[in-house]
């Protein structure tokens, strides 16, 4: 009886201290987090006139990840993203030459990356609520680029066109099958419980390559290609709920 009373009193003391000095209700002591999400890959390159990328030719992506909580603010994550990049001159009316050039491509891509997440509010262990985060890391993309210039209207540009010379140069140039990428971005999760949460994320890939779409000399050799993604998904945390087996405090 005395042991139970002492344990209950100690738990009450811990709860009072945490109520006084914390705002996150960190009753969950999860060590790992797993997630799955779906969304879109957005291509940025020579076949889109928009600086923010070709949303008209966005393609689906599915991502899986596993992460380990290092602290309330830091997590290390392994990420696998599988999807497709796409671009098409014919999707745009302006400038007018795009429908005559009529380049397009499809690039299936599988991306493996290691990422560090920083949660500025320290909500990794919080039982529920919002948890915004920033992230950066490094990875490798495995590609299979399928460029297509069969719709190119050579008569519109003339026999001496630099485009024709550029196409010949690009055809002679091999396309990459592996590229290094640096994913950076921002995300927001909402934890519904100690274990389950939902989230949304935007990730931009910093890279140095101008053949992601299969074209360079025939398009814009001074401008590199990039891509980014927008995804939503669910997360699942595992680990001990409370090392002291004290009652859960909810805020």
191 pLDDT above the threshold of 90: yes
Q: Does residue 248 lie in a domain region?
A: no
Question: Which pTM does this prediction carry?
Answer: 0.81
Among residues 158, 131, 137, 134, the alpha carbon closest in space to that of 28 is found at 131
- Tens of pLDDT, residue by residue over 205-242, are 999 999 999 999 998 888 889 999 999 999 999 986 55
Q: Does residue 219 lie in a domain region?
A: yes
- 162 compared with 8, residue with greater pLDDT: 162
Q: Does residue 245 lie in a domain region?
A: no
Q: Residue 159: what pLDDT?
A: 74
Check the CA dihedral 141-204-138-122 and report its sign: negative
Judge whether 182 and 191 are in contact, CB under 8 Å.
Answer: no
Judge whether 67 and 33 are in contact, CB under 8 Å.
Answer: yes
The phi, psi pair for 56, rounded to 5°, reads -65, -25
Q: Residue 244: what pLDDT?
A: 46
* Three-state SS annotation for 57-79: HCEEEEEEEEEEECCCCEEEEEE
Q: Does residue 5 lie in a domain region?
A: no
What's the chain's average pLDDT? 86
Q: Residue 223: what pLDDT?
A: 85
Contacts of 216 (CB under 8 A, 6+ apart): 46, 166, 170, 173, 210
Q: Does residue 67 lie in a domain region?
A: yes
- Tens of pLDDT, residue by residue over 144-184, are 999 999 999 988 887 778 888 999 999 999 999 999 999 99
Question: What is the average pLDDT across 5-32?
Answer: 51
Question: What is the average pLDDT across 85-101?
Answer: 91
109 pLDDT above the threshold of 90: yes
Q: Does residue 131 lie in a domain region?
A: yes
Domain count, the chain: 1
Q: Does residue 247 lie in a domain region?
A: no
CATH number for the domain harbouring residue 109? 2.40.160.20
Question: What is the average pLDDT across 111-139?
Answer: 96
Contacts of 142 (CB under 8 A, 6+ apart): 109, 110, 111, 112, 177, 178
- The DSSP code for 212 is T
Q: Residue 49: what pLDDT?
A: 85
Q: pLDDT-based confidence at 10, cuts 50/70/90?
A: very low
- Tens of pLDDT, residue by residue over 66-81, are 999 999 999 999 999 9
Q: pLDDT-based confidence at 134, cuts 50/70/90?
A: very high
Residue 48, domain extent: 29-240
Q: Does residue 4 lie in a domain region?
A: no
């Amino acid at each position: 009886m005395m042991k139970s009373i002492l344990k209950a009193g100690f738990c009450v003391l811990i709860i009072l201290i945490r109520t006084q000095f914390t705002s996150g209700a960190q009753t969950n002591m999860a060590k790992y987090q797993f997630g799955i999400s779906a969304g879109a890959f957005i291509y940025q390159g020579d076949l889109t006139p928009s600086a923010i990328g070709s949303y008209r030719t966005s393609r689906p992506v599915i991502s899986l990840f596993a992460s380990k909580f290092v602290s309330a603010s830091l997590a290390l994550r392994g990420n696998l993203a599988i999807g497709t990049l796409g671009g098409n001159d014919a999707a745009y009316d302006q400038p007018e030459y795009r429908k005559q050039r009529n380049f397009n491509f499809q690039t299936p891509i599988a991306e493996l990356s290691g990422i560090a997440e920083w949660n500025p509010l320290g909500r990794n262990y919080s039982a529920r609520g919002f948890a915004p985060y920033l992230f950066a890391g490094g990875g490798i993309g495995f590609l299979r680029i399928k460029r297509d210039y069969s719709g190119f209207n050579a008569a519109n540009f003339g026999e001496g066109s630099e485009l024709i010379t550029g196409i010949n140069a690009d055809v002679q140039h091999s396309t990459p099958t592996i590229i290094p990428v640096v994913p950076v971005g921002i995300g927001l999760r909402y934890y519904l419980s100690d274990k389950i949460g939902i989230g949304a994320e935007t990730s931009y890939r910093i890279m140095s390559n101008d053949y992601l779409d299969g074209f360079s000399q025939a398009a814009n050799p001074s401008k590199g290609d990039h891509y980014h993604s927008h995804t939503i998904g669910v997360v699942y945390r595992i680990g001990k709920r409370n090392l002291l087996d004290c009652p859960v405090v909810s805020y």
